[in-house]
Amino acid sequence: MFVIGVDYGTDSVRSVVVNAKNGEELASSVFYYPRWKKGEFCDPAKNQFRQHPLDYIEGLETTIKDCLSKAGQDIARQVKAISVDTTGSTPIAVDKNGTPLSLKPDFEDNPNAMFVLWKDHTSIKEAEEINKHAEKFDINYLQYVGGIYSSEWYWAKLLHVLREDEAVRNSIYTFVEHCDWIPFLLSGGNEASDLKRGVCSAGHKALYAEEFGGLPPEEFFTSLDPLLAGFRGKAFDKTYTSAEVAGTISEEWAAKLGVPVDVKIGVGAFDCHMGAVGGQIEPYYLSKVMGTSTCDMLVAPIDEVKDTLVKGICGQVNGSIIPNMIGMEAGQSAFGDAYAWFKNVLAWPLKNLGTDLLEEEIIKKIEDQIIPELAKRANELDPEHEAEFAIEWLNGRRTPDANQALTGALFGLSLGTDAPNIFRAIVEATCFGARTIVERFVEQGIPIKGLIGLGGVAKKSPFIMQMMADVMNMSIKIHKSEQTCAIGAAMFAATVAGIYPKVEDAMVAMGQGFDAEYFPNPRRVEIYEKRFQNYLKAGAFVESNS
């Protein structure tokens, strides 16, 4: 019996075909979004990042068909289920049939009709308004999202789009997360009101909580802005875990992909949540999915968490990672993106002056060597108390205490500062930012027993992972799988198919284990402790002057 896991990342979608009995990966395929790669519908200067649904649809079909072609027709005929994870909060405006507006001729080039990517921060103003507005109510409707609403999330993005675009405002029926829309697409949905919303996206980004009967009342939204009237009722009053079935594949998609017509489609979730499952998360271990940003996931038994609420994180939701456990999410808005930014700064002469002197292939080869070489040189530098240091808020701060208006900074520069010194300072800052998250959990009553590293940065950079262990004064073990998010989706698919009664059983049977572990260097722990205090002071200075 075989299952398919689909993982939508920021730059690409990847699919894997997996043997549900032992977790063996039979085939994988990656598709890079062509419109996104060209920078279409985006304006980085305005923090506007939008993605066209055609990038997602084409990637879905291409990767699954490619996987099944590699695995063989005999395998394709035995596929039992497909589950999907995506970035988030990445919602889109749809009509009453559940069709994204940007798939209609009148909106095909309208950024406000596109998926509003997680890293889009055009709704900072709206998020600030939601935070102030929530203070007017006797019930704290932000209590399960860390007490602070973010511009990266559902309601802020919806309100911004409604205010900015009359055409979208007049045509939208409801706003739908990417992770909820893909299962709807695969199962042939044609009524937006029938769309099943996952508790993951609903609880962490859209203020859904069983404790106050679902979403906040209509009055909460209409008194914030009358433009939101009716959207609560057209959103959802029920949610589902990713261990539940969203539907059965449509005949159209079964024919496209070459799979049986009885394939089950699982309820979707965010990439980091399914990635934590693929990385074999354990209670009170912080699973860090480290890519362009980080998502830090933690699960704990409901009866142990009880009434504990952690302030300043991205929420805690029953069943959002593993059914019947509390799932907690935190993270950093820029991690790998911070390194990529510095690489792009250094590569500016190549891209803008070198095209007349060097072949494109040579320019790309040099670009690809920048970060590995910087890491090598930076690793040769001993950390010193007075060395350069940085603040990593290049895309704002996600947690603790979301503030997307914050910016990054460099301190202690001199004429002796070179590229490896700056790179080391940026890496150190991302590790310090990660430490503030751990300290917030601990001080709020949630112990951290250890760290699990997942994703591209964790697998590819021993330099960064060793620094993480030193800064945290805690070991970090690295999961073996290159595709933990897609494998996690496959584990949920196996559960949805009924191969396993619960996802924990799928994790045991299909998990690939760990292939590396980094331990803190006592000498460096002491130095980083002093430098961390500099980081905290500098961060306070940046925030007070923003």
d(CA 47, CA 319) in angstroms, rounded, equals 32
Q: What is residue 51's predicted lDDT score, i.e. its pLDDT? A: 98
Contact assessment for residue 338 and residue 408, using Cβ atoms and an 8 Å cutoff? yes
Q: What is residue 383's predicted lDDT score, i.e. its pLDDT? A: 87
Q: What is residue 79's predicted lDDT score, i.e. its pLDDT? A: 98
Domain layout of the chain by residue ranges: 2-279+481-512, 336-479+515-544
Q: Which of 425, 407, 427, 406 is nearest to 417 (CA)?
A: 425
Pairing state between β 409-411 and 389-391: antiparallel
Domain with residues 2-279+481-512, CATH architecture: 2-Layer Sandwich (3.30)
Q: What is residue 491's predicted lDDT score, i.e. its pLDDT? A: 98
Residues of the chain with pLDDT under 50: none
- For 267-313, the DSSP string reads PPEEHHHHHHHHTT--TTEEEEEESSSEEEEEEEEHHHHTT---TTS
d(CA 431, CA 417) in angstroms, rounded, equals 21
Dihedral sign (CA 223, 228, 229, 230): negative
| Cβ-proximal residues to 416 (8 Å cutoff; 6+ apart), any chain | none
Q: What is residue 349's predicted lDDT score, i.e. its pLDDT? A: 92
- Ramachandran area for residue 135 (φ above 0: left; ψ -120 to 50: alpha; else beta): alpha
**133-185 pLDDT tens trace:** 999 999 999 999 999 999 999 999 999 999 999 999 999 999 999 999 999 99
In 165-212, alpha helices (H)? 166-171, 178-186, 199-205
Q: What is residue 353's predicted lDDT score, i.e. its pLDDT? A: 86
The DSSP H or E segment spanning 116 is strand 115-116
Q: What is residue 482's predicted lDDT score, i.e. its pLDDT? A: 85
Q: Do 2-279+481-512 and 336-479+515-544 agree at the fold level?
A: yes
d(CA 108, CA 208) in angstroms, rounded, equals 31
Q: Enumerate the β-bridge partners of residue 296.
A: 288, 330
Q: Enumerate the β-bridge partners of residue 331.
A: 295
Tell the CATH topology of 336-479+515-544: Nucleotidyltransferase; domain 5 (3.30.420)
